[in-house]
Amino acid sequence: MNEEQPLFIPVILGTTRQGRMSEHAAKFVFEELSRRNGVETELIDIRDIALPTDDAGPQIKDSEFSGTVERADALIIVAPEYNHGYPGLLKHVLDSNLKEYIHKAVGICGVSAGPFGGTRVIENLLPVMRELGLVTIFWDVNFSRVQTVFDSSGKLLDEGFIKRTDKFLKELIWMATVLRYGRVNISLDPMCLNTELRRGTEKEGAKS
């Protein structure tokens, strides 16, 4: 992997329901991310991923989705809160991969019609992210009362979300950059790690 290549950070729209306001939130986050220098992105709609529901894991992998996740340096998940939880089909799609996620950053945007902005969907997704091997950042975006944040055409009505999303994206990009460096340059083998740390210390000593 060339560390000079742009970061690749797809945005996953995590619901298939008709009339979903989450689509407006996902498109907004996607557009804000698209403006960042040194970042490439793609909007993934799980509605377009045709997975069978009579099996799980690698047996149902969608090659295009798996390839996209394999190439990604980080992910953004935009998920609505359904009865205090996450959409089942989102979990079904995520569970079709595993090794593709390891040591990559993930940021979560929660969406709800109520005042908490999908806080509970984010809380419920955090242990799932850890089990998949993803590294969660500590900023989220909560689209509370989403019907007042966007109009029916998807136009942003609350410009406060520009600043909130900027903070979220800066943290995600930083984490994605650090983790890419680690995946490329630092071994998980303790012996190799000790050697790399010593080399780093020696270089700093030479500079001083």
pLDDT range class, residue 197, cuts 50, 70, 90: low
Q: Domain coordinates of the chain in residue numbers?
A: 7-207
pLDDT range class, residue 187, cuts 50, 70, 90: confident
Spell out the long-range contacts of 1-6 with Cβ–Cβ below 8 A and sequence spacing 24 or more.
1/180, 1/183, 1/184, 3/180, 3/181, 3/184, 6/38, 6/39, 6/40
pLDDT range class, residue 199, cuts 50, 70, 90: low
Predicted TM-score (pTM) of the model is 0.90
Provide the CATH topology of domain 7-207.
Rossmann fold (3.40.50)
Q: Give the distance from CA 96 to its chain's centroid.
A: 16
pLDDT in tens, 4-57: 799 999 999 999 999 999 999 999 999 999 999 999 999 999 999 999 989 988
pLDDT range class, residue 182, cuts 50, 70, 90: very high
pLDDT in tens, 69-80: 999 999 999 999
Kindly state the percentage of the chain with pLDDT values over 70. Answer: 89
CB atoms < 10 A from the CB of 172, how many?
Answer: 25
- b/e burial code for range 82-108 (CB count within 10 A of at least 16 → b): beeebbebbebbbbbbeebbeebbbbb
What's the confidence (pLDDT) of residue 4?
A: 78
